[in-house]
């Protein structure tokens, strides 16, 4: 059983970072009930349910939050919950009568997780947006990309999931820890702009110290340094080099047939010449040939795998890093625990009845009462 076994979580309908946070909790054993809309809101990217990996691991109850009986049911569920997760714009839950004050009056120990891009306050709090907008505002997007090229959107990993989901999960678990001493819940205001800025902290410090410049593609970790970049191989694949430290770079130079001392001088004073040298060397052989050359060394060199190649990578295979649900290969739950080992997640395409979804939350008599009252469509 996972380490979060016994934790009851109510998840309101949302896209992106809120469902991903709920998935992380469910992956680790939390009992998450997802409340879905009866009608599709046409948000996010349409795809069949089994490919909606962030929705795995929980049962689903479809409700109309404008239905008075459905709201009574939702409030009954909130009474039983440890955690509530919602990703609406600020004010929506309050207008439904499900805001923090309403919920704390019923369940003072509830941890109320709010996931937004801009935050609950501020001039932009009510505005629409997506990952690219949030990281653009923080300066993160401006820092990513090559010199003299436009900023490069890093999928939606940095904002939605890094600055959003992970910080919401951290906030929720921190509030649960604090609850052990206070006995009280609280609101967790997880804004992607806050999380993305937090992730930028090290880079901001390096710029302030004069170690990095404000010009993207000219610095140590943004493709500016030739010893921290990717290079084309003879077969059209790519190799990733991360030999920052001199002791690792010296090994790299030796494996490439270069004089380590001369290469170290270039590393410190002539990045243009060093980049040309490395590009010429790596272009002479295939990626697999280079990987064989560097296996067992501390040169900090790896082949750039495609997603299909990653699934069959020997290291990831040895760690069972992928699982398969309904024929869809996907990442296994993370992180790993030595004792509290979670069960395999429920497929996002798995179906359930309303009664089945509620069985872990309400007694059979209450479920029947809500059914006959019309709390959900039959």
* pLDDT tens, position by position, 159-182: 999 999 999 999 999 999 999 999
Q: Give tens-digit pLDDT for 11-40.
A: 999 999 999 999 999 999 999 999 999 877
Is 103 in contact with 111 (CB distance < 8 Å)? no
Is pLDDT above 90 for 45? no
Window from 37-41, 44-48, 246-250, 367-371 with minimum mean pLDDT: 37-41
Whole-Å CA distances, 34 to 8, 181, 236, 313, 341: 11, 29, 44, 34, 23
Same domain, 148 and 285: no
Q: Which domain holds residue 272?
A: 228-311
Residue 184 binned pLDDT confidence (cut-offs 50, 70, 90): very high
For the chain, give the mean pLDDT: 96
Is pLDDT above 70 for 41? no
Same domain, 131 and 170: yes
130 is known as an active-site residue: yes
Whole-Å CA distances, 169 to 24, 85, 135, 176, 222: 8, 10, 19, 11, 28
> Residue holding tokens 């009574």?
72
Asked if the structure places residue 318 within a domain, the reply is no
Same domain, 307 and 327: no
Asked if the structure places residue 53 within a domain, the reply is yes
- Which of 269, 284, 311 is where one domain is finished? 311
CA–CA separation, 95 and 145 (whole Å):
42
Asked if the structure places residue 179 within a domain, the reply is yes
| Three-state SS annotation for the chain | CCCCCCCEEEECCCCCHHHHHHHHHHHCCCEEEEEEECCCCCCCCCCCHHHCHHHCCCEEEEECCCCHHHHHHHHHHHHHCCEEEECCCCCHHHHCCCCHHHHHHHCCCCEEEEEECCCCCCCCCCCCCCHHHHHHHHCCHHHCCCCCCCCCCCCCHHHHHHHHHHHHHHHHHHHHHHHHHHCCCCEEEEEHHHHHHHHCHHHHHHHHCCCCCCCCCCCCCCCCCCCEEEEECCCCCEEEEECCCHHHHHHHHHHCCCCHHHHHHHHHHCHHHHHHHHHHHHCCCCHHHHHHHHCCCCCCEEECCCHHHHHCCHHHHHCCCEEEECCEEEECCCCCCCCCCCCCCCCCCCCCCHHHHHCCCCCHHHHHHHHHHCCCCC
What pLDDT is recorded for position 147?
A: 96
Q: Which of 27, 82, 131, 160 is catalytic?
A: 160
CA–CA separation, 49 and 134 (whole Å):
27
Same domain, 38 and 164: yes
Asked if the structure places residue 168 within a domain, the reply is yes
Window from 39-53, 140-154, 221-235 with minimum mean pLDDT: 39-53
What does the chain come to in residues? Answer: 378
Q: Give tens-digit pLDDT for 216-256.
A: 999 999 999 999 999 999 999 999 999 999 999 999 999 99
160 is known as an active-site residue: yes
Same domain, 101 and 168: yes
CA–CA separation, 37 and 60 (whole Å):
10
What pLDDT is recorded for position 378?
A: 78
Asked if the structure places residue 45 within a domain, the reply is yes
Same domain, 247 and 366: no
Over residues 293-307, mean pLDDT:
97
- Which of 268, 285, 311 is where one domain is finished? 311
Asked if the structure places residue 206 within a domain, the reply is no
CA–CA separation, 247 and 299 (whole Å):
9
What is the total count of domains within the chain?
2
Q: Which of 36, 130, 189, 246 is catalytic?
A: 130
Q: Give tens-digit pLDDT for 269-288.
A: 999 999 999 999 999 999 99
Whole-Å CA distances, 107 to 132, 162, 175, 186, 273: 36, 30, 15, 11, 65
What pLDDT is recorded for position 262?
A: 96
What pLDDT is recorded for position 101?
A: 98
Asked if the structure places residue 242 within a domain, the reply is yes
CATH number at residue 168: 3.40.50.10540
CATH number at residue 304: 3.30.1540.10
Same domain, 69 and 120: yes
Over residues 62-73, mean pLDDT:
96
**Which residues on adjacent β-strands are paired with residue 63?**
37
Same domain, 141 and 53: yes
Same domain, 302 and 345: no
Same domain, 122 and 246: no
Same domain, 69 and 144: yes
- Which of 271, 288, 311 is where one domain is finished? 311
Q: Give tens-digit pLDDT for 85-119.
A: 999 999 999 999 999 999 999 999 999 999 999 99
What percent of the chain clears pLDDT 70, i.e. is strictly above it?
Answer: 99
Same domain, 134 and 246: no
pTM over cut 0.85 = yes
Asked if the structure places residue 220 within a domain, the reply is no
């Amino acid at each position: 059983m996972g380490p979060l076994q016994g934790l009851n979580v109510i998840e309101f309908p949302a896209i992106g970072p809120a469902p991903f946070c709920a998935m992380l909790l469910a992956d680790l054993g939390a009992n998450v009930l997802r409340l879905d809309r009866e009608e599709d809101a046409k948000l996010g990217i349409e795809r069949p349910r089994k490919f909606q990996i962030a929705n795995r691991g929980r049962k689903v109850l479809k409700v109309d939050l404008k239905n008075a009986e459905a709201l009574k049911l939702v409030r009954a569920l909130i009474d039983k919950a440890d955690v509530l997760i919602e990703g609406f714009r600020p004010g929506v839950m309050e207008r439904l009568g499900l805001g923090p004050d309403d919920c704390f009056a019923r369940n003072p120990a509830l941890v109320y997780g709010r996931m937004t891009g801009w935050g609950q306050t501020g001039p932009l709090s009510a505005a629409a947006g997506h990952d690219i907008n949030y990281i653009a505002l923080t300066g993160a997007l401006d820092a990513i990309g090559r010199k003299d090229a436009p900023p490069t959107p890093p999928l939606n990993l940095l904002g939605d999931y890094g600055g959003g989901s992970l910080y919401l999960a951290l906030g929720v678990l921190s509030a649960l820890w604090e609850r052990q001493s206070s006995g009280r819940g609280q609101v967790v205001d997880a804004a992607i702009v806050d999380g993305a800025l937090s992730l930028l902290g090290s880079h901001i410090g390096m710029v302030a110290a004069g170690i990095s410049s404000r010009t993207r593609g000219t610095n140590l970790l943004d493709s500016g340094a030739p010893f921290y970049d990717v290079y084309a191989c003879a077969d059209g694949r790519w190799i990733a080099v991360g030999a920052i430290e001199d002791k690792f770079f010296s090994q790299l130079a030796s494996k490439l047939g270069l004089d380590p001392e001369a290469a170290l001088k270039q590393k410190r004073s002539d990045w243009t010449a060093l980049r040309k040298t490395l590009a010429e060397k790596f272009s002479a052989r295939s990626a697999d040939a280079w990987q064989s050359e560097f296996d067992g060394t501390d040169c900090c060199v790896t082949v750039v795998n495609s997603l299909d190649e990653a699934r069959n990578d020997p290291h990831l295979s040895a760690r069972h890093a992928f699982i398969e649900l309904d024929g869809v290969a996907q990442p296994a739950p993370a992180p790993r625990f030595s004792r509290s080992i979670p069960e395999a997640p429920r497929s996002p395409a798995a179906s359930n009845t309303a009664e089945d979804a509620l069985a872990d939350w309400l007694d059979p008599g209450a479920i029947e009462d809500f059914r006959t009252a019309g709390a959900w469509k039959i």
